[in-house]
A and B are shown apart, each in its own frame.
Chain A
Amino acid sequence: MRAQLGLFIAPISSRFRDLMGDRMHGNMARGGLAVVTVVMMAIPCWAQQASKELAKKSLEDLMNIEVTSVSKTPQPLARSAAAIYVITQEDIQRSGATSVPELLRMVPGLDVAQIDSSTWAISSRGFNSQYANKMLVLVDGRIVYSPSFSGVVWDEQDLVLEDIERIEVIRGPGATLWGSNAVNGVINIITKKAQDTQGGLLSVKAGNEEDIETTTQYGGKAADKGYYRIFAKYFDREASATAAGEDAEDGWHMTHAGFRSDWELSKRDSLTVQGDFFSGRENHTIPFVVSLQPIVSGQFDVPFEAAGGNLLGRWNHVFSPRSAATLQVYFDDSDRDQSIVSEHRHSTDIDFQDHIALGNRHDLVWGIGYRYEEDRLPGSLSLSFSPVNSSLSRYSSFVQDDISLVPNRLRVMLGTRLEHDPYTGFNVQPDFRVFWSPTKNQSIWGAVSRPERTPSRADIGVRFILSAFPGPGGIPTAVTSYGNPGLDNEHVVSFQMGYRFQLRDSLSLDITAYHSRYSQLSTAEPQAPFIETDPMPPHLSIPVVSANAMGGTTDGVELESSWQVKNWWKVAGGYTWLHMDIHDQVTGNPSNVAYVQSTNPQHQVNFRSYVNLPKNLQWDTMMYYVGLLPGNLVSTYAVASYTRLDTRVAWRFKERGEVSFTGQNLLQPRHIEFASSQVSGSSLVKRSFYVGFSWHF
């Protein structure tokens, strides 16, 4: 498995927990426990029964129980030397969100903007776009960052939301532990172990935007040592709206099925095998050039067919109380068929990690990884890749030492990653962190990191006609964007500081400030026009070619707080401030800078309230304010600031069922969240309602 967030987390009750417990897979089970706890409180007899069972267990049995720590979530967070936010299963239920991107809205410091019904732009600390390329996203240790276009194809990241244990979001660099491209953040989605989803689940949602979503799941015990779950899910989402309020014809549907099994092979060995497969169909409105002779271009509805699957195995071995190792292997296939460009990709990834506690002070973790990517990207006149087929290998290794200088008080973390990228060769990505806890409920941390963003297939060899018009003498003329095989990594040096304050379990405050210095950011630079004969017909090409010509700084502050006002009422809120100062280092071409700076809000505010009412009723409210996106008048348009309000009422019955009613985007009939003319046209998010029903059996 990829480095778990535990690496940034100090011990709760002992140093060992730090890396062993959290890192390998222990923390998978922790966050969602809040929900288990809630359930257990609701049903005290369960708890007593559990205690009766526990009292019968032998010491050996007890030592093999994977423990999830209640309401400890604030504590590990309070001990991490990074800007971390964790979405728990409770947050997932109460948000009313029906997809992973929508869930991420609640994370302070993340900018989530819906582009059309199935496309989102998600980034932290600036540089947002549909292909936001500075966030690394993993699902159960599997990287879902697209090597073709950079960024994340969010519509393919469907999960049964009930099965998510937690989503850990780290803002700022995470490249040393997690790998290249974790420049401005890491999103780590962790699903529950199979033993935590035993029994059946039936869930149905239906509404005006969420046409229908059904999930069927069953979890059972296999032989003596293993647990499994299997699920099948189908959803159909309605189209978003055009500016005129008409149907944007970008509806989509997807079928998704999968399984997870967890095995205790011996006292020292555990194995997880999981896999899932999806197939869906989407529509996007895309501006593109269909033909150069005659010139035909415009916005077209393009159907996409997306399908894929993955199979992952993870073996964990405990050598001794002070040493454990994990070996993870996965295969990931994805196919995206559409008329402009198709993508067929097969990835194989092998990852080994070892953790050793050395002496009283050192917690050492190191790992090696190998990734093999095979792809085929057949294109069209408008968009093509060179070469069409590729197979690339990537090698990586990392080491980090977490050194306890004063137990529980002062730690330093030193680490570095050495990676060999198929395009840019060796790169070194070091990281240094300090954590200091002056009193029990306060902590201060600082970090200096130097992550890198490596080029994607598109950066290296894309050929994309941006626009076409009749040129001098009637010769067809195309403004074409070209990749650059010589493109280098984007470099960043980031400085961060954070302060946390926790007052008992009821009030917490978390502030992070950062200053990042970017260089060699990728740009598109105009070059001298030439006559191009491939593809036919011969035409005048005005090229813009990828280069590493931009640099600059970003500064920001992220603030979050949560307060358990009463035992039946919890509120949480966040504020994000971002200032970008990017400039072109080489050519002074203003359009690149204008593009990068035009798509990010300077201010964001969010507020959530969870109310537990009598008679098993819940009432939850979420409010998000997103400031103006300035736009640059050329490739992006200004998006007015907006406030989004969602609310949800749910009733739980017989401890097994839930009926909920959710209203989203209540303040306006529709609003736009992102407006970029790049690749996907933008449409408007509508006011929506849905009714949900779920039953555990």
Chain B
Amino acid sequence: MRATLLKAISVLVGQSQLGERRSRLSRNLFRLRIAAVPVLLTVIVVPNVTKAQSSGLTEYQVKAAFLYNFAKFVEWPPDAFPNNTTPFTICVLGDNPFGSSLNEIVQGQTINARGFVIRTNIQKQDVKACHILFISDSEKKQLLEDLKSLRGTSVLTVGETPDFAEQGGQIQFFWVNGKIRFAVNTDAAERAHLKMSSKLLALAKIVHDEKQ
């Protein structure tokens, strides 16, 4: 790579010598090219040019990472887990927008000795077995019924449908400036006997049930 850059410099300088004979405009550019040389040199000389983490992250890769993180910052009532090593079950209700991202994120991860199980394409009657339930936007028509049927359970519901949290979901993703944020409905969390850590709440936008 350094060789390539050195070549680039020689091309820049070489051309500029030609350019010098041309015109004022080219001379301006000559200065510019010369200006570019130190920049290129810096790149060559400065060691450890850190290659940035690939930023081609997709929306649902990041959302999958959020789901994984929620498991860390939410405390379920003891009866939600039969024993100390029962894994967290993360489910997706409706169309699965995550592809394989959820599986990739939780693969090999444990929180307090609990591993993870991912269940997509889950049937409605089975959702009570989930710890975290992502309710896909495809469910938005039945959203109220879905949420109603979960009353009295300790399933952490996460959605991205507008007003999901206001309608009684616990955590809702939304967008700010191309970044993903989340809102927490503390009323809903309380109803489900889920204890959200203060850290989670500090980062969330707090919302309440929409007045019926």
Contacts and interface: CB of A to CB of B under 8 A. Distances in A.
B147 to A, nearest CB: 16
Contacts of A337: 23, 25
A218 B40 contact: yes
Given A50-B57, A67-B179, A15 B162 contact: yes
User: Helix, strand, loop or mixed for chain B's interface?
Assistant: helix
B25 A335 contact: yes
B176 A230 contact: no
Contact of A321 (B43, B101, B162, B174): B174
Interface string A28-61: 1100010011011000001110111111011110
A26 B50 contact: no
Interface in A13-31: 13-17, 20-22, 24-29
Interface centre among B11, B15, B177 (most CB of A within 10 A): B177
Interface in B137-176: 137, 140, 160-163, 172-176
Interface stretch (A194-202, A565-573, A605-613): A194-202
A368 B205 CA distance: 30
Contact of A307 (B29, B64, B101, B205): B29
B45 interface: no
Given A17-B175, A321-B181, A65 B69 contact: no
Contacts of B50: 220-221
B178 A67 contact: yes
Interface stretch (A68-76, A289-297, A458-466): A68-76
B57 A13 contact: no
A679 B53 CA distance: 50
A27 to B, nearest CB: 7
A216 B11 contact: yes
A16 B176 contact: yes
Contacts of B56: 33, 36-37, 39-40, 50, 68, 196
B62 interface: yes
Contact of A62 (B28, B36, B180, B199): B180
B49 interface: yes
Interface residues of B, number: 66
B77 to A, nearest CB: 22
Given A230-B36, A255-B29, A51 B104 contact: yes
Interface residues of A, number: 82
A17 B172 CA distance: 13
B69 A697 contact: no
Interface stretch (B1-9, B84-92, B185-193): B1-9
Nearest to A316: B177
B65 A62 contact: yes
B64 to A, nearest CB: 8
Interface string B38-71: 0110010000011111111111111011101100
A66 interface: yes
Contact of A21 (B49, B69, B177): B177
Contacts of B180: 62-63, 65, 67
Given A221-B52, A277-B29, A24 B177 contact: yes
A200 B175 contact: no
Contact of A200 (B4, B26, B109): B4
Contacts of A281: 22
A14 B173 contact: yes
Contact of B51 (A28, A198, A360): A198
Contacts of A669: none
B194 interface: no
Given A14-B174, A47-B104, A279 B179 contact: no
A54 B61 CA distance: 8
A183 interface: no
A214 interface: yes
Contacts of A59: 66, 69, 73, 199-200, 203
Given A216-B8, A218-B43, A66 B176 contact: no
Interface string B90-122: 000000000001001111010000000000000
Interface string A246-277: 00000000010101000000000000000001
Contacts of B33: 232, 255, 257
Contact of A232 (B8, B43, B66, B176): B8
A91 interface: no
B164 to A, nearest CB: 8
Contacts of B62: 54, 62, 65, 67
A212 B73 CA distance: 57
A26 B178 contact: yes
Contact of A202 (B4, B22, B161): B4
Interface in A316-354: 316, 318, 321, 324, 335, 337
A11 B12 CA distance: 46
Nearest to A270: B177
Name the residue among B32, B59, B178 with the largest chain A CB count within 10 angstroms: B178
A492 B61 CA distance: 46
Given A11-B162, A318-B177, A230 B61 contact: no
A198 B49 CA distance: 10
Nearest to A309: B32
B58 A16 contact: no
Contacts of B205: 321
Contact of A408 (B162, B175, B179): B162
A398 interface: no
Q: Which 7 A-B pairs have the closest CB atoms?
A: A26-B178, A36-B56, A17-B175, A51-B104, A279-B29, A307-B25, A21-B175
20 contacts: A14-B162, A14-B174, A20-B175, A21-B176, A26-B179, A51-B64, A57-B65, A62-B65, A198-B54, A200-B5, A214-B11, A218-B43, A227-B52, A230-B40, A230-B43, A232-B33, A257-B33, A321-B181, A337-B25, A697-B1
Given A14-B174, A67-B62, 15 more contacts: A13-B137, A15-B162, A21-B176, A29-B55, A37-B56, A51-B105, A65-B55, A69-B59, A195-B52, A199-B51, A216-B4, A257-B32, A279-B19, A306-B25, A324-B176
Interface of B: 1, 4-5, 8, 11-12, 15, 19, 22-23, 25-26, 28-29, 32-33, 36, 39-40, 43, 49-62, 64-66, 68-69, 73, 101, 104-107, 109, 137, 140, 160-163, 172-181, 199-200, 203, 205
Interface of A: 11-17, 20-22, 24-29, 33, 36-37, 39-40, 46-48, 50-55, 57-60, 62-70, 72, 193, 195-196, 198-200, 202, 214, 216, 218-221, 227, 230, 232, 234, 255, 257, 259, 277-279, 281, 305-307, 309, 316, 318, 321, 324, 335, 337, 360, 407-408, 697
